[in-house]
Amino acid sequence: MHYLKDISEVRKKISEYKKNNKSIGLVPTMGALHKGHVSLIESSKKSCDITVVSVFVNPIQFGPNEDFHKYPRPIEQDIKICEEVEVDILFNPAVEEIIGDNLKTFVDISDLGDNLCGAKRPGHFRGVATIVSKLFNITTPNRAFFGKKDIQQLYIIKKMVEDLNFNIEIIPCSIIREADGLAMSSRNRYLSEKERIDSLVINRTLKEAVKLIEDGEINSKNVISFFENKIKEINSAKIDYVNVVNENMKNVELIEKGNIIAIAVYIGKTRLIDNHIIGEKICW
């Protein structure tokens, strides 16, 4: 595995691969890798000759009172994981390498970013789209792999690729869950033992809400109320949002196949997100 920190080194190596007609898969991450990330890497390895993993904790996607400085950065562990799954390039640039000290150009997404996490975290998706576009330009992948847990991010990246004519195929990958159903997240490590138990209310209630819909409930207000009431039973839990949206991230009144139940809940001080696309099989 090539562990690279400089843009020029990455471009040189990618150029060598492409001269030999190798296809490139990119898995963008913020590190603190877990089995969810590994599943993205495995998907890339199955469909691409070369897999590039980026580890970059992006400061411009964090708000002023968020957890940028606290966000876990176990780079030695990440290197070990990438070596074990035979990643070809691990790109781990410094902030100065990617952003510099005078960044003036940003990629902004209108409309799709106005609801859910975009409404709760102003500027978040502007930061995400800007850095992902830079990673695309640096690594020039044929395919890029994103998990469905960050469903709004996935739809925004797909739209950015379409609008800006990136010659990249975006591959959505399934949410990977712990054995008890909690969606895997680098932030799960923030949870205390009790909070970890409390956090199960999220996936448990999501599953129950999906069953409610499958049994015939199509009024989104009723589903949201059901979800809110269940979450309120847990003292450590505080709802950030519960919405049912369409693929344009707009709230819907009547639920239909393809709509998304999207949720963000604080367990203590830890914000966790989850979702389910109506019509897809429940896998937990």
Q: Of the listed 2, 37, 69, 276, which one is catalytic?
A: 37
Based on the fold, state whether residues 18 and 43 are members of the same structural domain. yes
Q: pLDDT tens digits, residue range 48-98?
A: 999 999 999 999 999 999 999 999 999 999 999 999 999 999 999 999 999
**255 φ, ψ to 5°?**
-85, 135
CATH of the domain at 198: 3.30.1300.10
Q: Which structural domain range is residue 197 located in?
A: 186-275
Q: pLDDT tens digits, residue range 178-226?
A: 999 999 999 999 999 999 999 999 999 999 999 999 999 999 999 999 9
Q: What percent of the chain has pLDDT over 90?
A: 98
CATH of the domain at 58: 3.40.50.620
In b/e form, how buried is each residue of 269-284, taking b as 16+ CB within 10 angstroms? ebbbbbbbbbeeeeeb
- Determine the Cα–Cα distance for residues 39 and 24; give it in Å rounded to an integer: 17
Answer with the one of 173, 196, 229 that is the final residue of a domain: 173
Based on the fold, state whether residues 135 and 199 are members of the same structural domain. no
Answer yes or no: 69 catalytic.
no
* Residue 284 forms part of a structural domain: no
Residue 10 CB neighbour total at 10 angstroms = 21
Whether this model's pTM surpasses 0.95: yes
CA separation, residue 99 to residues 4, 62, 94, 251 (Å): 17, 14, 9, 34
Instruction: Decide the pairing of beta strands 270-277 and 50-55.
Output: unpaired
Q: pLDDT tens digits, residue range 111-155?
A: 999 999 999 999 999 999 999 999 999 999 999 999 999 999 999
Q: pLDDT tens digits, residue range 16-27?
A: 999 999 999 999
Q: How many domains are there within the chain?
A: 2
